[in-house]
């Protein structure tokens, strides 16, 4: 079975500081990993994904994520946070060895960027 964990329900960071939102996963095969962002009462917006290749993935709005196979992690990062980055962030995983192509989502991390 595949699973994903976001250990922090809430992350607070000052504007201009770097931010990190943590994600760890568990799969049987190789992982396909995704980050989405959700603003209040809106759908999810795709930020970036890791399928294969370079461990550092760059995405939308200046976000990036680093795939670490030994630590089974896929943390989301941004060098300089903006107040407008405040939102709910979801990590998701899909197991490449699974028979059904399904995403499993983490419980979400609420990011608040303080001015």
Partner 1 sequence: DGGITQSPKYLFRKEGQNVTLSCEQNLNHDAMYWYRQDPGQGLRLIYYSQIVNDFQKGDIAEGYSVSREKKESFPLTVTSAQKNPTAFYLCASSIAQGMTDTQYFGPGTRLTVL
What is the contact surface with partner 1 in residues (CB under 8 A)? 9, 32, 34, 36, 41-46, 49, 51, 90, 94, 96, 100-103, 105-108
Least Å distance between CB 44 and partner 1?
Answer: 4
Q: Which residues pair with 34 in a beta bridge?
A: 49, 92
Nearer residue to partner 1 within complex by CB, 36 or 74: 36
Nearer residue to partner 1 within complex by CB, 68 or 107: 107
What are the structure tokens assigned to 111, written together?
């990011």
81 neighbors 13 (Cβ within 8 angstroms): yes
Least Å distance between CB 17 and partner 1?
Answer: 26
Residue in this structure with the two tokens 């995704």, named with its chain if needed: 34
Q: Which residues pair with 38 in a beta bridge?
A: 44, 88
Least Å distance between CB 73 and partner 1?
Answer: 18
Least Å distance between CB 57 and partner 1?
Answer: 13
Taking each continuous run of H as one helix and of E as one strand, the counts in the chain are 0, 12
């Amino acid at each position: 079975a595949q699973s994903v964990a976001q250990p922090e329900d809430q992350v607070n960071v000052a504007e201009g500081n770097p931010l990190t939102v943590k994600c760890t996963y568990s799969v049987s095969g190789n992982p396909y990993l995704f980050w989405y962002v959700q603003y209040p009462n809106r759908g999810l917006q795709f930020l970036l994904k890791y399928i294969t290749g370079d461990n550092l993935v760059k995405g939308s709005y200046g976000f990036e994520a680093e795939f670490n196979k030994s630590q089974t992690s896929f943390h989301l990062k941004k060098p300089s946070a903006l107040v407008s980055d405040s939102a709910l962030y979801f990590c998701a995983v899909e197991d490449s060895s699974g028979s059904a192509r399904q995403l499993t989502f983490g419980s979400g991390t609420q990011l608040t960027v303080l001015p």
